[in-house]
Structure 1
Amino acid sequence: MGATAAGVEPDYQAVLAAPGFRLGVRCDDDEIHRIAFLPPGAEVAPRNALAAETVRQLVLYLADAEHLFGLPLRPSGTSFQRRVWQQITAIPTHQTRAYGEIAKALHNAPRAVGQACGANPFAVVVPCHRVVASGGGLGGFARQNGGFLLDVKRWLLAHEGC
């Protein structure tokens, strides 16, 4: 999810700097394969039209949390993960849901919802940052319980006024 051992970014078609992090875009000409959170560093100019459109929409979101994405996301994940991501995408901007709330709606366990959130390949577009622990705690983020990714989650939630 970050730089390779040699310090070179994996094959991203674009990398956009954001406050305290970057967003790496992997795509072909037709579909987004992944949008990943990366540690701060250099940007990479878009290498194709879809990467440029993705960066354009991410910039709009970073300027205005109300921006609604319209990007062609490559189908991925298990059936259960896709159901979780559908629930998460339905959470309105400025709101959060607890892992347990989503689990109850899907008749499953909160831990399974957390695992599906961690497997989300479309950072920001499928807003897993809006899923928090019961009692208002942050919970994990992108399969991490600490480090810069929790700072990213805090920033995203503050950006959205949560």
Structure 2
Amino acid sequence: MIKNRWTLNFLRAVPDAFYKRESFHIDAAGYLGLLINIEKLREVGCVNPDYFIWADDVEHCFRLNRVGDLICIPKYTIIHDTENEKGVLNWKYYYGYRNSTNIVKRYFPYHYPFVIFFEVIKIILAPLRGKSFVEMKLRLKAILDGHRNKLGVNRLYKPGWKP
């Protein structure tokens, strides 16, 4: 559960040793195979549609954690058959950066200034890592929009957008 605002466990992978346990507590999970108690769902509401895609499930899990526990049961396996677009800049990256920024701002206010500082440094140093100007612009726009609570579908970065 998120009781200590100084932890950023949602940014860390679960250690492999945990998967040998019968179950363990988690801060958040993707919505693949997640079972939610209907009373808890009524209490916190549904997924925020303004997050649109990427991290909407994480934000919803943070709200669910306020009223109960999220538990992983590793003996169950989910196969998520999707296209692997890792490393290929597309419209989804905007929403990932924007929504993550907004979530850190809302749920981890003590960390927020540091996270923003390091994200801006990463944008400035992006050309040294071989990133394009288009990606730098996308990331900066996403971070600013997340900071300003400008959520929902962006006019430019709509589904299907590619540089």
TM-score, length-normalised on structure 1? 0.27
TM-score, length-normalised on structure 2? 0.27
Structure richer in strand, relative to its length: 1
Structure richer in helix, relative to its length: 2
Larger Rg: 2
Q: Which has the higher contact order (CA 8 A, sep 6+)?
A: 2
